[in-house]
Structure 1
Amino acid sequence: MHPKLLLVAGLSASSLVAAADGSERVLGVYLFHRHGDRTAKAWKPVNLTALGATEVYSSGSFYRSRYVAASAPAASRIAGLSADTAVLSQLEVTAPKDAVLEGSALVFLQGLYPPTGSAGVETLANGSKVEAPLGGYQYVPVDALADAASSAKSEDNAWLQGGSGCGNAVVSSNTYFTSAAYKETYDDSRDFYQRLLPVINGTYGADAANFKNGYAVFDLINVATIHNASIPASNLLDNSTRARLYDLASVQEWNLAYNSSEPVRAIAGSVLAGQVLAALQDVVDAKASAPKFNAQFGAYGTFMAFFGLAQLPAASPDFYGICDYASSMAFELVTSVADAKPKPEDVSVRFLFANGTAAEKGLKAFPLFGQSKDTLSWTDFKAGMGKFAIADTKHWCTLCGNTNGQCAAGNSTSSDGGATAQNTDGSGSGVSRPVAGVIGALVTLVVILGLQAAVMLFGGLRLVKKSTLAGARRGVETSEAGVKS
């Protein structure tokens, strides 16, 4: 069984989502969702498994029962959202061009809006009837996404920052490999990883059995324990060993995803924050074109980056850990007034998280930004997110130190280069989810060259096809290996 974040333990009663006041209603929601169970990153291509598809489908069904279905509780059903037939103008679902993440989004949508059955039968002008295929399967598009929050082929990428396109974020993550904390953890865990060689030597040799590949080793063994009936030297994989593998991988990935003194390292979380603000701002402004249900699929690293920026470890130290497959976080936009268009001062935001599929784990509310309240006024939420959210392309370019491609165009004019999403004040142009990918695509060559130079500089790390750069966490702050199947 995959190690879990023990989010239930030690939580106060106030952390649980209480039954909302009968007068409360949900105006809109933004979900960020991890993919379901997949094959190991050590073996390309990485694919979504049947178990993974089941996980995200059940999550989609859960969110349907909460926000969409006519039978959903009045306090949580999204006002004005079509219950059975997907209305595309009310939905926006995005995922990177990645088999695992895009596939997860498609399966999720079938749980959210299942086939219509007999409702899919049409009568033509000549009187003949045509029944839609697949029992009335609903064709909800998943928009392509490739940006700093979730890069293209995320699940094939060996390194957390490998596809971010953000030069300064790449450099920042690389500095972890030269830190005293990294060296200490590397040395302390050397013998531990070497003892696991009988388990992983079908894929990795002695030179790769170390903390540098902490996530890699964890990922391979984790996948094997889920899917392989027979594992070499399985007697070495007792509960304490697997728990330590998870802890070390979490330490490494946390420090690669976030550092309080170098916010640019958490660029993925900042981009996500900007996207959440832009989407919810449109709902607050009651724009006719604003989708009421937004869902984005991405990798665990974006969760970690956002967790750090939003100070969620202050609510529970378990947020330091790698979240499980099919985890999701939800930003609910709520109001208690009956007005069709509530004023911004009458709107609040609640943050909720499920570690693993929400169908099994349920959603729990947590306070953001180190505060004590689970629900924040729109003004306070906007101010808190605005401290680290990427507002527009120019902002992204400045933080990342990128000067070519779209960033070069932005430097020569006052334009943001054509991005169309709203910024944090709801008035300017920002980094939209589909458009933000242009940035990463245009800077890829520069980032690759910079990464190669950094890898050669820092500790003799090698860029190899099936190995992963890694890193670590805890005292400071912060991917791939395996058992051959």
Structure 2
Amino acid sequence: MGFKTVFLSLASLPLAKTETILGVYIFHRHGDRTAKSLAPTNLTALGADEVFQSGDFYRTRYVASDASSPIHGLSNDIAVPTQLSVISPADSVLQSSALAFLQGFYPPAGTNGVSILANKSEVQAPLGGYQYIPVSTSSTTSSSADSENSEWLQGGSGCGNAIVSSNNYFLSEEYTTALDQTKSFYSNLLPVINGTFSASQATFKNAYTIFDYVNVATIHNQSIPASQLLTNDTLKELRTLADSHEWNLAYNDSDTIRAIAGATLAAQIVQQLNSTLSGKGKTPVSIQFGAYASFMSFFGLAQLQTVSADFTGVVDYASSIVFELVTNSTVSSSAYPSADDVSVRFLLANGTAALNPPREFPLFGQTQTLLPWNTFATEMNKFAIGDTAAWCRACGNTTGTCASSTSGDSGSDDGAADASTTSSNGISLPVAGVIGALVTLVVILGIEALVYALVGLKLVKKSTLASLGGSGSSGVVGGTGAGSKA
């Protein structure tokens, strides 16, 4: 993404002197990792340092005793588990990133980690007082085990209607035109990538994994075959094509079910921030790690692409978005503000926050970057999908977990809406779900026939493609080779 080079920043205004941060929700991408096409994928030392530095930045902003924007009531040095909600899918790269981030957020306690026993002897906790902060695996529909290696949908993996929607991209004129126009571009790169990609795989169909493979090489490899082919213009084009490919799989204006990952993330954000309010700050910090498609899906739903076209690109390694819950009212042990006195600020750090501090941007096509809580919650709930039943209805799924979840309506927890009431074409999502369940098989067979007849492609899961060196999954990339920070 070009956030670092061409940003029309609407933001970074100093906080009001009387402002108090009541809580935050941070959604974070993992750090630098090995290539998706060369499994198993692992977090690198560089990646661990990136997310650690990000954690340290947010500590300086929110946690430390001299924090620039301290969170009300948050423990400064010793982590209190009940004050933190940390979630990551059961994926090694994401879990490792979460642990590294937390060591920056709450570093080893040092002398504060010493226990004095009954016999007056002292015991120092291991590793200088290393703090063991639990990282939960999400049990919601927005995350799934091994999400880094599952279909691009990640959070929406298994959503029938969303899978059909994303597959429709491969039948679109935009895709087939790009596929045709870039044949020579990718073919010319074969001397660089033919150790992993065959001639038939070197196409726009695999735009992201090819970019990822080259990007990782430019970061870590001291020598690259035919490196003279990787000019600055070529690296930029690889990144631009990958961005376009992934954006079109993550979001579509006229078929928003494609952005199911962003819709479920939106519900989690509202639910958790609302929980902070209703619990009067009992759990003021929520941190979730996830992959880039969820960022892109949310950006589309929140209309951030209207602020800058940069929001249609893949965010860099260790990027984060932050939702700050703020008030100008008095906050004390006996006085906590009502929802009417609370606002929400949205910020983005593209790349590790230590090097690219978060900047404010307006959501939902608004002009102001600080929205009243009720406005924020109302706008988010227009597209948020907040529980299993709503997810099943929107996705048209009726088997497995959904077999017992689609029989009745279920409101979302903590006041978040369970789903948008209608799809973009005016059909209610519950009705769309039923229709999707009945016609999915027919659609898929029809698509397969058309694809074979028209363009000779075969629709398969990205996990299958990955095993063949094909288009990457939810993974992630930084763009050092393309001019952006990994």
Question: Normalising by structure 2, what TM-score?
Answer: 0.86
Q: Please state whether the residue corresponding to 1:334 is helix, strand or coil.
A: strand
The CA deviation string for residues 366-398 of structure 1, in whole angstroms up to 9 with x for no partner, is 000011111111111011101100132221111
- 2:427 alignment counterpart: none
Q: In 2, Cα distance between the equivalents of 1:168 and 1:306? A: 18
Structure 2 equivalent of residue 302 of structure 1: 294
Aligned partners of 1:80, 1:161: CA distance in 2, in Å?
34
Q: Counterpart of 2:65 in 1: which secondary structure?
A: coil
Residue 359 of structure 2 is aligned to residue 364 of structure 1: yes
Q: Which amino acid aligns with 1:286?
A: G
Give the conservation status (yes or no) of the 8 Å contact 1:189–1:210.
Answer: yes
Task: Note if 1:125 corresponds to 2:123.
Answer: no
SS at match of 1:324: coil
Query: How far does residue 156 in structure 1 lie from its aligned partner after superposition?
Result: 2.5
Cα shift readout 1:48-78 (whole Å, capped 9, x = no counterpart): 00000000000000000001101112xx210
Q: What letter is aligned with 1:319?
A: F
The CA distance in 1 between the partners of 2:88 and 2:168, in whole Å, is: 29
Deviations 1:306-330 (A, max 9, x none): 0000000111110011100000000
Match of 1:216 among 209, 227, 230: 209
| 3-state SS of 1:139 partner | coil
Unpaired segments ≥5 residues, structure 1: 427-447, 472-478, 481-485
Q: CA deviation at 1:285?
A: 2.0
2:20 is matched with 25
Contact residue 155 and residue 261 of structure 2 kept, 8 A: no
Cα 1:403/1:229, change in 2 over 3 Å = same
- For the pair 1:466 / 2:441, whether they are aligned, the reply is no
Which runs of 4 or more aligned residues in structure 1 lie more than 3 Å from their structure 2 counterparts after TM superposition? 146-150, 157-163, 412-416, 448-458, 461-464, 466-471
How far 1:214 sits from its partner (Å)? 0.3
Counterpart for residue 293 of structure 1: 285
Q: CA deviation at 1:456?
A: 4.6
Change (3 A) 1:163 1:269: closer
CA, structure 1 residues 469+175, in 2 after alignment: closer, same or farther (shift >3 Å)?
farther
Aligned to 1:136: 129
Aligned-pair distance for 1:470?
A: 7.3
Amino acid at match of 2:197: Y
What is the alpha-carbon distance in structure 2 between the residues aligned to residue 388 and residue 159 of structure 1?
20
SS in 2 for 1:214: helix
Indicate conservation of the 8 Å contact 1:212/1:470, yes or no.
no
Q: Name the SS for the 2:137 alignment partner.
A: strand
Confirm or deny that 1:334 pairs with 2:326.
yes
1:80, 1:174 → 2: CA distance? 47
- Distance in 2, Cα, partners of 1:274 & 1:361: 27
Q: How many residues align?
A: 442
Residue from 359, 366, 375 that aligns with 2:370? 375
Cα distance change of structure 1 residues 148 and 186 upon mapping to structure 2, 3 Å threshold: farther
> Does structure 1 retain, via aligned residues, the 8 Å contact 2:156–2:260?
no
How far 1:228 moved relative to its partner?
0.3
Quote the residue 2:193 is aligned against.
200
Cross-structure match for 2:307: 315
Cα displacement (A) at 1:341: 1.2
Corresponding residue for 2:44?
49
- The code of the aligned residue for 2:3 comes to L
Distance in structure 2 (CA, Å) of the matches to 1:261 and 1:27: 37
Say whether residues 1:84 and 2:81 are aligned partners: no
User: CA 1:138/1:277 → structure 2, altered by over 3 Å: closer, same or farther?
Assistant: same
Task: Compute the displacement of 1:287 (Å).
Answer: 4.4
CA distance in 2, matches of 1:451, 1:120: 60
Match of 2:3 in 1: 6
The CA deviation string for residues 383-433 of structure 1, in whole angstroms up to 9 with x for no partner, is 1101100132221111000112222212345567xxx8434169xxxxxxx
Deviation at 1:129, TM superposition (A): 2.0
Name the CA distance, whole Å, in 2 between partners of 1:377 and 1:162: 28
Distance of 2:76 and 2:346 partners within structure 1:
23
Q: Does 1:250 align with 2:243?
A: yes
Question: 2-side partners of 1:85 and 1:252: how far apart?
Answer: 44
Q: 1:278, 1:423 within 8 Å by CA — same for their partners in 2?
A: yes
Distance (whole Å) between structure 1 residues aligned to residue 54 and residue 76 of structure 2: 17
Paired with 1:228 and 1:119, the residues of 2 have a C-alpha distance of 42
How far has the Cα of 1:200 moved from its partner? 0.3
What SS class does the counterpart of residue 134 from structure 2 fall into? Answer: coil
Aligned counterpart for 2:316 among listed residues 324, 346, 371: 324
| Residues 89, 147 of structure 2: 8 Å contact kept | yes
Q: Is the 8 A contact 2:210 2:471 kept in 1?
A: no
| Aligned residues of 1:250 and 1:322 also touching (Cα < 8 A) | yes
Cα deviation code 1:174-226 (max 9, x no counterpart): 01001111000111111100000000000011000000000010000000000
Matched, 1:173 2:170: no
Structure 1 residues 232 and 453 mapped into 2: Cα distance closer, same or farther (>3 Å)? farther
Q: Secondary structure at the match of 2:16?
A: coil
Counterpart amino acid of 2:283?
P
Q: Decide which moves more: 79-88 or 453-462.
A: 453-462
Superposed displacement of residue 150, structure 1: 3.4
How far does residue 107 in structure 1 lie from its aligned partner after superposition? 0.4
Between the two proteins, what is the percent identity of the paired residues? 53
Distance 2:234 2:139 in 1: 36
- C-alpha separation between the residues in 1 aligned to 2:459 and 2:277? 48
In 1, the alpha carbon distance for the partners of 2:260 and 2:442 equals 17
SS of residue matched to 1:361: coil
Structure 1 length normalisation: TM-score? 0.86
Q: Which amino acid aligns with 1:365?
A: E
Q: Which residue of 2 aligns with 1:401?
A: 396
Q: Are the counterparts in 1 of residues 140 and 387 from structure 2 also a CA contact under 8 Å? A: no
Q: Equivalents in 1 of 2:49, 2:304: separation in Å?
A: 29
Please give the residue correspondences for 1:373-452 in structure 2 after superposition, counting only pairs within 5 Å: 373-413=368-408, 421-424=413-416
Matched, 1:274 2:267: yes
- Native 8 Å contact 1:167 1:450 kept in 2: no
Residue identity matched to 2:327: T
- Quote the offset at 1:284 in angstroms: 2.0
Instruction: Give, in whole Å, the separation in 2 of the partners of 1:170 and 1:315.
Output: 28
CA distance, structure 1, for counterparts of residue 139 and residue 278 of structure 2:
27
Counterpart contact for 2:386–2:413, Cα < 8 Å = no
Superposition deviation, residue 7 in structure 1: 4.4
Distance 2:76 2:441 in 1: 50
Residue matched to 1:259 = 252
Q: Distance in 1 between matches of 2:311 and 2:210?
A: 21
Does residue 110 of structure 1 match 2:108? no
Gapped regions of structure 2 (runs ≥ 5): 419-439, 452-456, 478-486
Residues 1:349 and 1:107: Cα distance change in structure 2 (over 3 Å): same
Deviations 1:234-262 (A, max 9, x none): 00001100000000000000000001111
- Aligned equivalents of 2:34, 2:207: Cα separation in 1: 17
| Structure 2 residue corresponding to 1:61, chosen from 50, 56, 77 | 56
